[in-house]
């Protein structure tokens, strides 16, 4: 019978010093303070009967590991985004944007459920309608819930992929960066379709989207082009590929957005 890998097993018994239970630290395990101030930094807690049990901080550690090397922070412009203040509070009252705003707000409230089930959002509409602001609010909810998030505009993501081809010692290779993109809890891609189209771009985009689709990992996307408007839909399919559009419509709730021009408050 195949035994469980040692890296996945807790210590069989804790060490004792003067009758006091001391959780064992694995070889190479960090000794930093627990981010939740519950354990001694080992990731293990004392349990009844002289045993140990995993600390909740282990989930946070895994989340940080998945996001390492990715653009995982909310951009400064959007760090104060909230459904309780403009422009989202204004969008929630507008007849043309209230429905979409409400869907994104509820998505954030149930973020763990949606991410665990691999469900995402695709917010689409003209420039200046608040797409990016809504998307950042959803990503912010994921980060606040302790989930790993990667945030990129499509052009910036492609530029980052190109950098991996010249990776130096200690830098992510293409395979390492791709694995991080594929495993992070939420991948947020802004301005899908804004990149210059080429066979290489189509290949990279489909590889990422399809891998996350297969793993049931959530994607959050914004695009200026809509799948509900002609000829925009055909332009979008030509720009990002029919297969990408198909995968995204299967794994994301599509939200067509139209409304008042919001760029004077937040960029869209």
Q: What is the pLDDT of residues 154-212, one digit of tens each?
A: 999 999 999 998 877 778 899 999 999 999 999 999 999 988 889 999 999 999 999 99
Whether residue 60 is contained in a domain is answered as: no
Instruction: Write down the pLDDT at residue 262.
Output: 53
Domain identity same for 244 and 147: yes
Q: Are residues 105 and 142 in the same domain?
A: yes
**What is the reported pLDDT for 114?**
98
Count: domains in the chain: 2
The tens digit of pLDDT for each residue in 13-22 reads 444 334 333 3
- Buried residues in 6-19 as b, exposed as e (16+ CB within 10 A): eeeebeeebeeeee
CB 134 within 8 A of CB 88: yes
Residues 180 and 222 in one domain: yes
Q: Does residue 225 belong to any structural domain of this protein?
A: yes
Q: Does a structural domain hold residue 265?
A: no
Please name which of 142, 148, 82 lies closest in space to residue 113, comparing C-alpha atoms: 142
Note the pLDDT tens digit of each residue in 88-101: 999 999 999 999 99
**Within-domain flag for 239:** yes
| Look-up of token digits 């293409």 | 174
**Domain match, 44 and 74 both:** no
Residues 125 and 212 in one domain: yes
pLDDT on residue 42: 77
The half-sphere exposure of 36 on its side-chain side, counting CA atoms within 13 A, is 15
Helix, strand, or coil (residue 189):
strand
**For residue 80, what is the DSSP state?**
T
pLDDT of residue 22: 38
Residue 95 sits in the same domain as residue 207:
yes
Q: What is the pLDDT of residue 143?
A: 94
* Residues 46 and 160 grouped into a single domain: no
pLDDT at residue 59, as a whole number: 62
Q: What is the CATH number of the domain that holds 86?
A: 3.40.50.300
- pLDDT value at 104 more than 80: yes
Does 24 score more than 60 pLDDT? no
Same-domain check for residues 70 and 192: yes
Percent of the chain with pLDDT over 90: 63
* Domain that includes residue 35, residue range: 6-55
Residue 17 shares a structural domain with residue 130: no
CB 58 within 8 A of CB 76: no
The whole-chain average pLDDT of the chain stands at 83
User: Does 26 fall in a domain?
Assistant: yes
**pLDDT score of 76 more than 60:** yes
Are 38 and 154 in the same domain?
Answer: no
Q: Which residue has the higher pLDDT, 100 or 41?
A: 100
Among 15, 31, 55, give the residue marking a domain's end: 55
Quick one: 97 and 220 in the same domain? yes
Q: What is the DSSP letter of 245?
A: H
For the segment 32-59, the average pLDDT, to the nearest whole number, is 74
Span 129-136, mean pLDDT? 96
Same domain, 45 and 80: no
């Amino acid at each position: 019978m195949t035994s469980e890998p040692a890296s996945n097993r807790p210590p069989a018994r804790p060490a004792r010093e003067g009758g006091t239970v001391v959780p064992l630290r694995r070889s190479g395990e960090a000794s930093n303070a627990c981010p939740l101030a519950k354990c001694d930094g080992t990731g293990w807690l004392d349990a009844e009967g002289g045993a140990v049990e995993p600390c909740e901080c282990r989930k946070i550690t895994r989340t940080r590991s998945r996001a390492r090397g990715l653009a995982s922070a909310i951009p400064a412009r959007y760090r104060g985004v909230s459904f309780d203040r403009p422009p989202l509070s204004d969008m929630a009252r507008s007849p043309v944007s209230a429905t979409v705003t409400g869907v994104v707000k509820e998505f954030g409230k149930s973020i763990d459920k949606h991410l665990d089930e691999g469900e995402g959002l695709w917010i689409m509409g003209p420039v200046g309608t608040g797409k990016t602001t809504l998307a950042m609010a959803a990503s912010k909810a994921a980060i606040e819930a302790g989930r790993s998030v990667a945030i990129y505009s499509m052009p910036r993501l492609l530029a980052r992929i190109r950098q991996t081809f010249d990776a130096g010692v200690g830098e992510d290779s293409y395979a390492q960066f791709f694995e991080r993109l594929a495993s992070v809890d939420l991948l947020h891609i802004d301005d899908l379709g804004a990149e210059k189209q080429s066979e290489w771009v189509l290949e990279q985009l489909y590889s990422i989207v399809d891998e996350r689709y297969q793993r049931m990992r959530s994607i959050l996307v914004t695009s200026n082009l809509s799948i509900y408007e002609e000829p925009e839909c055909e332009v979008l399919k030509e720009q990002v590929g029919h297969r990408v559009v198909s995968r995204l419509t299967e794994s994301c709730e599509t939200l067509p957005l139209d409304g008042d021009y919001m760029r004077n408050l937040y960029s869209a």
